Amino acid sequence: MALRFLVVEGNNATGRGNRQRAYGMTPAQSYAAVLAAVEPGALCDIALPADEGFNMPDAAGLEGYDGIVLTGSALHVYHGGPEIEQQIELMRAVYRSRTPAFGSCWGLQIGAAAAGGDIIRNPVMREIGFARSIRVNGSGANHPLLAGRPVAFDAPAVHLDIVCSLPADCTILASNDLTPVQAAEIRHEGGIFWGVQYHPEFSLAELASILGNLGPIMHDEGFFRTEEEHARYVADLYALHEDRNRLDLAWRFGLDKQVLDTDARLTEVRNFINARVKPVKSARGRA
């Protein structure tokens, strides 16, 4: 029987429209395509909890899914308002449903906020392009989410905010110098959530499309000195996406197979499906 996923879109209509124009898909549509690639035949519904009038499912309705995945977002938890509060309320229902849940970037932040954690703007700097030297700690080395990852690795990343105050039952699995919570397991109200602050689901093309729209921000924050530098960086990312054997570009970006090899990059998504979604589906009698 095919796996059924609910993909929870973290963006409002403006954010979805921006990504649709830049990449041809919204984040939720892109994530659904990744899930279908990792698990052929998977069926994905999309929820839009940032929208006005969103019909909030209860825990019983969420139990009908085998897995729930939360995307990234251009929003900020600390700004508050209905489009944030509805996402936190949905995540609390996800915990109560005990359905396996996973989230990237904003997904981790919503998972933490719903369990009592706090989110702040990173006081050091924005982490953008790639999260470098993500270090797996002792808990992470023995955790199925990071099975197959080396002790240190890089991953696509685009985020300004970080989890600061941890939920009551949270285990940090990996960190780096910019972000103290790069991967974590959170347990709350009987549910288990796995999350990462980076984006294993992002191809180099999707990452390039996002960075292509962030030129003014990256220039103002000192990542590029000129528009030409920014344009060249984005163009080279697209080129490396088209040809992963471009040693010159891989060397220039400082990337190895953990990013360049699709199977390696998708490690956490695959581990979530194999180590959480399928066993729980079987335990619920749906195998």
pLDDT of residue 206: 98
> Are 170 and 106 in the same domain?
yes
pLDDT of residue 265: 98
> Where is 185: in which H helix or E strand?
strand 183-188
Residue ranges in 55-203 assigned as alpha helix (H): 59-62, 82-97, 106-114, 138-141
pLDDT of residue 286: 67
pLDDT of residue 287: 61
> Are 129 and 243 in the same domain?
no
- Domain range holding 140? 4-201+266-283
> Are 173 and 79 in the same domain?
yes
| In the predicted structure, residue 237 carries a pLDDT above the cut 80 | yes
| In the predicted structure, residue 149 carries a pLDDT above the cut 80 | yes
| CATH number for the domain that contains residue 181 | 3.40.50.880
> Are 243 and 120 in the same domain?
no
* Averaged pLDDT of the chain: 97
> Are 223 and 157 in the same domain?
no
> Are 146 and 239 in the same domain?
no
| Percent of all residues in the chain with a pLDDT value above 70, rounded to a whole number | 99
- Of 149, 131, 132, which is closest to residue 140 (Cα–Cα)? 149
> Are 222 and 157 in the same domain?
no
The pTM of this model reads 0.96
pLDDT band at 59; cut points 50, 70, 90: confident
| In the predicted structure, residue 60 carries a pLDDT above the cut 90 | no
Structurally, the chain folds into a number of domains equal to 2
Measured CA to CA, the distance from residue 140 to residue 149 in angstroms comes to: 10
> Are 194 and 213 in the same domain?
no
The rounded Cα 193 to chain-centroid distance in angstroms is 12
Q: What is the mean pLDDT of residues 243-262?
A: 98
> Are 233 and 158 in the same domain?
no
pLDDT of residue 259: 98
pLDDT of residue 85: 97
pLDDT of residue 66: 98
> Are 54 and 135 in the same domain?
yes
Measured CA to CA, the distance from residue 21 to residue 253 in angstroms comes to: 26
> Are 177 and 238 in the same domain?
no
pLDDT single digits (tens) 194-226: 999 999 999 999 999 999 999 999 999 999 999
> Are 234 and 156 in the same domain?
no
31-40 long-range CB contacts below 8 Å, 24 or more apart? 31/7, 31/69, 31/71, 31/104, 31/201, 32/5, 32/7, 34/201, 34/266, 34/269, 35/5, 35/7, 35/69, 35/269, 35/273, 38/266, 38/269, 38/270, 38/273, 39/3, 39/273
Q: What is the mean pLDDT of residues 140-167?
A: 98
